[in-house]
Amino acid sequence: MVADMAASEAAERRKASGEGRKSEARVGTYVYGIVPADVEVSDDAGGGVGGPSAKVTVVRHDDIAALVSELRLDRPLGTPDDLMAHEGLLDATAAEVPVLPVRFGAVVTNPEAVVEELLAPYHDEFHAALDELEGRAEYVIKGRYVEQAVLTEIMEERPDLAELREQIKDQPEEATRDTRIQIGEIVDQAVNAKREADTQAALDAVTPVATLTSLRDPSHELDAVHLAVLVETARENELEQVVDKIGERWAGRVELRVLGPLAAYDFIVARGTGGG
């Protein structure tokens, strides 16, 4: 499988270089994001979307530029490697310079089209957005309940659960299905209420150090907090201190992580839906 791919890749490249015009669109230009024009891609940057041979380059127009790489169009996109390559490049970039992340999977015909249809017509719009991001990056705060701890809390708060629990104790699952569902619903509602309260507490704590905040949908039923913040990179330490303080307060009941610096995925508002 791997050998086959390597062989066909080589054949494809020969073919692509043989034909001057890629009118069949066998190869496209993958677009990662938009950056200021003075950005350079370092040589040690890893491969892009589409494998290690996909070399990331910069297409410039005036004051702005796009990070792109060549992409073969003979397979669907979205393998774990593709996803990691996309975000890896954007986050590494965001740690250094402002970058407008493009949603995963953006492909245009060639680098000239990137200039003509993306960079040139929207130059001022992108330039203004990059200015706003100067010196700032996104961080994501993720908290996950420690199941046993949060269930213990809920049992304390809901005495009716203990009673229901007695009813299913040592009973076969089939015989107690309704009671189990009833227990589960109560727990689920209680977890949701806790998530709401804990998310608000986290939001209140980080708001003073953040330029912007944005709530994310929970990505797991035991999520306690899922929050994106735009922070001046110079204040990263302050953010960490604030989050550590919450983490200490929640020790044993919530596992808290900070991801970042990341590209500002949660703060790029689509065209026509207003600025952020």
Partner 1 sequence: MTVQPAGGVAQRPTATGLADVIDSILDKGLVIDAYVRVSLVGIELLTIDARIVVASVDTYLRYAEAVNRLDLSESGGQGLPELMQNMKQGMVADKGKDAVEGVLESAADKLEGLVGGPEDDQERQPSRRRKDGG
Question: What is the footprint of partner 1 within residues 139-198 (CB under 8 A)?
Answer: 140, 142, 144-149, 151-153, 155-156, 161, 165, 168-169, 177, 179-181, 183-185, 187-188
**Residue 84 binds partner 1 (CB under 8 A):** yes
Q: Confirm if 261 and 138 have CB atoms less than 8 A apart.
A: yes
Residue 205 DSSP symbol? H
The minimum distance between CB 149 and partner 1, in angstroms, equals: 5
The minimum distance between CB 87 and partner 1, in angstroms, equals: 5
Strand partners, 141: 227, 258
Cα separation of 135 and 25, whole Å? 38
**Residue 256 binds partner 1 (CB under 8 A):** yes
Out of 39, 56, 100, 206, the only residue in the binding site for partner 1 (CB under 8 A) is 100
Out of 122, 201, 211, 213, the only residue in the binding site for partner 1 (CB under 8 A) is 122
Q: Of 215, 247, 145, 226, whose CA–CA distance to 187 is shortest?
A: 145
Amino acid at 35: V
The minimum distance between CB 276 and partner 1, in angstroms, equals: 12
Count of alpha carbons within 13 Å of 235, Cβ hemisphere only?
Answer: 18
Q: Of 276, 191, 208, whose CA–CA distance to 242 is shortest?
A: 208
Out of 55, 62, 103, 134, the only residue in the binding site for partner 1 (CB under 8 A) is 103
The minimum distance between CB 17 and partner 1, in angstroms, equals: 19
Coil, strand, or helix at residue 257?
strand
The minimum distance between CB 244 and partner 1, in angstroms, equals: 4
Binders of partner 1 among residues 26 to 55 (CB under 8 A) are 28, 31, 33-34
Q: Confirm if 64 and 131 have CB atoms less than 8 A apart.
A: no
Binders of partner 1 among residues 54 to 83 (CB under 8 A) are 71, 73, 76-80, 83
